[in-house]
Structure 1
Amino acid sequence: MPTVTGLDLTAPEVVADPYPHFATARREGAVQWHEGLGMWLTFTHAAANTVLRTRTLGRIWSPRTFVDAAPDEVLAAFELIHVNSLLENEPPVHTRLRRLVAGAFARGHVERLRTRIAELAQRLADTVADAGSAGSPVDLIELYAEPLPVQVIAELLGVPEADWGLLRPWSNAIVKMYEYRVTPEQRAAAERASSEFVDYLRSLVVARRARPGDDLISSLIAETDGDGARLTEDELVTTCTLLLNAGHEATVNVVGNGVTALLSHSEQLTALRADPSLVPGAVEELIRYDSPLQLFERSATADTIVGDVTVEAGSKIAALLGAANRDPAVFDRPDEFDVTRTDNPHLGFGAGIHFCVGAPLARVELQASLHTLLQRFPNLALAAAPERRPEFVIRGVRSLPVTI
């Protein structure tokens, strides 16, 4: 008989700190059935890694159904930005999309932005310094962690600075749909945001076709596959949406979760200040210790063995990335936060063919963000307890009050 877990991923205590619950469940089995979600969950690094790398466990988009949906509820724009996504497709569609997107990225966009990212971080640090100059608490999420990745993605895509403020609210509304408890109001907000974002990107694509620039949208328009194939307009729009949602949401939450961890572990903060060369490794530890993405679903296209269970064709299984990244079979002292950790095969960026295409950009952003905070604010400290986001799948801090 398979092990069945009753772990409630929406319970406040699990959302607040899932890791003790993962540890308890892990002792019961690497892969367990969750009746409420109707899918298998993994609790070990090995099982999660298998899920992410096995070709018979794919990302296959299917529209979600909701028991409280009104008869006239339509999520056409939300569906559009997923059905054409490289994240939601398998080969051969995924192969073609990823090759085109990776080809556009290979034109030096990350290196081109490296200096600019540092400049943006310094500019936002100026805002933090001004707001906290009188000793009053400032919200590091609002003034620093949120704006930086949005501005980076905006510059990457060629979004005019006057429109930067549009992006974060759209993304915030869309990603609410990835949770397992979604209200009708949240669905309506996600559809509005998707529709507005799609319309905006279509207009931007038209402008770049007429007048190409050195931005990623222009490169995506120009990129051709070996047989001359290009991205369709829907695929282009979807790719841009994915880069915003996946790219900046993860970066915001790594900074929020990571700075919370650093300010709660003074000895680690001291070590990092004493040796800035530790920053790249510390970024990997921030991702491992408190993963910004906790769960990644796959669907079985054929009967597939994961651990000691068989995931039957048509069934779903989810890799619990946060559980994988705290597995004592892989990580020494897994529940300890250690910025000097070097052996760190975390799964925060995924694995296999769906490994995050934006990982190099995310690492540059995170390293610049952390380096700037350490350099500019030697007295950075928590002013009050951080306010956690109330969701499980995308784990982050909504408000982080600090003094500088």
Structure 2
Amino acid sequence: MEFDPWSPAFVADPYGAYARLRESGRAIPFEPSRQWLVPHHEDVSALLRDRRLGRTYLHRFTHEEFGRTPPPPEHEPFHTLNGQGMLDLEAPDHTRIRRLVSKAFTPRTVEQLAPTVRRLAAELVDGFVADGGGDLISRVAEPLPVTVIAEMLGIPESDRQLLRPWSADICGMYELNPSEEAAAKAVRASVEFSDYLRVLIAERRKAPGDDLISALIAAHDEEDRLTEQEMISTCVLLLNAGHEATVNTTGNGWWTLLRHPEQLARLREDRSLLPTAIEEVLRYDTPLQLFERWVLDDIEIGGTKIPRGSEVALLFGSANRDKNRFPDPDRFDITREDNPHVSFGAGIHYCLGAPLARVELAASFGALLDRAPGLRLVQDPEWNPGFVIRGLRELVVEVTGRTP
């Protein structure tokens, strides 16, 4: 099987195709998406830090100067929302916004959240265990990070059911060559989510609270503040990035553990292995398989010249299985110590929420290990159709043992 991100069989297991890609070269042209595929860890890691590449090119070129066609006008709400978030900006705008957001989203904030995250995880798992199991993703993996980020942002509990559908529709545009139907859903979700947050931000301006939106409003650097659009885009980014990865890492991780019972048994016996187990889950089956960058100045990868105006597709899933960096890379090993996976990115766009994601993953995996000492897979899971953000539709398990 070759690289085919629209094939369900490829999405279910892309790792054999990745190995063949790594053998075939360091930069492989892929005409269907007009991209260069970069499958090796050393190259992916270096290019994430290379300032000759960017998440956008509009800080230096027009669409026409860059040889690209502007997006259709009807897609404008999505691109306005997406284009003002940290993930899709370059310096100096990225630097300014990340600095301001970092004032509100501090390590201390995450540290103070940890007890709440553990309590929420325990409550979700207790309900799951009491019912004898069910879909681990919809019952545990999804509610935890959505609840945490909603609590952080100060979104009322009655409105939280809106968040996951909006996020899923917006994230549909991150796939390769999204359909017009996917684009229309993303545009609609962008408008609805933006309108919702605009009202919430106005309320927080009048009556600040102890929440992240209020902190973003207050964040300033001399006379510099976030614009309303930057705040809206930041909130959406924090929600989307802050839970899509955690949901899929939880689902992919438990599917991996259930297929490696000896590793799961070892983790149950020695809970001190949980931190390295989580890093290995992130490496072995990362939820973010591909990260795109624009070539702003000519570069060369392994003797192949890639001109300005090109787009590279950094294959995180392949980089994380590169035998040149990871001994026995296809072996799932929860004791793996030397584990420089790229699942959270690198360079200036390194995931700001990585510390929170690790807290959430430790809480949910820990709660399930503590409260459900036996889990049995009821049926083999199916994968969602997306490849860039890759995860299971559901993971149905039965609780076969439980703590008193």
**TM-score normalized with structure 2 length:** 0.93
- Look up the match of 1:103: 103
8 Å contact kept, 1:298–1:318: yes
Residue among 216, 220, 229 paired with 2:224: 229
Residue among 156, 177, 194 paired with 2:190: 194
Structure 1: how far apart are the matches of 2:212 and 2:107? Answer: 9
- Look up the match of 1:402: 397
8 Å contact kept, 2:107–2:355: no
Aligned AA for 1:176?
A: G
Find the residue that maps to 2:351 and give its secondary structure.
Answer: coil
8 Å contact kept, 1:109–1:156: no
1:25 to partner: Cα distance: 1.3
1:162 to partner: Cα distance: 1.3
Structure 2: how far apart are the matches of 1:390 and 1:61? Answer: 29
2:202 matches 1:206:
yes
Gaps of 5+ in 2: 64-70, 400-404
8 Å contact kept, 2:299–2:306: yes
Structure 1: how far apart are the matches of 2:383 and 2:106? Answer: 36
1:130 to partner: Cα distance: 2.9
1:210 to partner: Cα distance: 1.3
8 Å contact kept, 2:3–2:14: no
2:34 matches 1:14:
no
Structure 2: how far apart are the matches of 1:52 and 1:307? Answer: 16
Q: Following superposition of structure 1 onto structure 2, how do residues 63-82 of structure 1 map, counting pairs within 5 Å?
A: 74-82=74-82
1:383 to partner: Cα distance: 1.0
- Look up the match of 2:181: 185
1:305 to partner: Cα distance: 2.0
- Look up the match of 1:362: 357
8 Å contact kept, 1:77–1:198: no
1:204 to partner: Cα distance: 1.1
Q: Which is worse superposed, 8-17 or 240-249?
A: 8-17
Structure 2: how far apart are the matches of 1:383 and 1:178? Answer: 32
- Look up the match of 2:237: 242
Structure 2: how far apart are the matches of 1:143 and 1:254? Answer: 15
- Look up the match of 2:88: 88
Find the residue that maps to 2:325 and give its secondary structure.
Answer: coil
Structure 1: how far apart are the matches of 2:107 and 2:217? Answer: 13
**TM-score normalized with structure 1 length:** 0.93
- Look up the match of 2:68: none
Structure 2: how far apart are the matches of 1:257 and 1:360? Answer: 19
2:331 matches 1:336:
yes
Structure 2: how far apart are the matches of 1:268 and 1:349? Answer: 24
Residue among 262, 267, 271 paired with 2:262: 267
Aligned AA for 2:15?
A: Y
Gaps of 5+ in 1: 65-70
- Look up the match of 1:169: 165
Distance 1:142 1:103, change over 3 A: same
Residue among 260, 281, 284 paired with 1:289: 284
- Look up the match of 1:42: 38
8 Å contact kept, 2:2–2:17: no
Structure 1: how far apart are the matches of 2:326 and 2:340? Answer: 8
Over aligned residues, Cα RMSD in angstroms?
1.8
Find the residue that maps to 2:24 and give its secondary structure.
Answer: coil
8 Å contact kept, 1:173–1:190: yes
1:253 to partner: Cα distance: 0.3
1:163 to partner: Cα distance: 1.2
- Look up the match of 2:274: 279
8 Å contact kept, 1:61–1:83: no
Distance 1:15 1:21, change over 3 A: same
1:205-237 deviation digits (Å, cap 9, x = unpaired): 111111112211111111112x32000000000
- Look up the match of 1:314: 309
Structure 1: how far apart are the matches of 2:346 and 2:30? Answer: 23
- Look up the match of 1:67: none
Q: Percent sequence identity over matched residues?
A: 51
Structure 1: how far apart are the matches of 2:306 and 2:248? Answer: 31
Residue among 233, 240, 247 paired with 1:252: 247
Aligned AA for 2:216?
A: L
8 Å contact kept, 1:285–1:341: yes
8 Å contact kept, 1:61–1:88: no
Q: Which is worse superposed, 346-355 or 378-387?
A: 378-387
- Look up the match of 1:68: none
1:73 to partner: Cα distance: 6.7
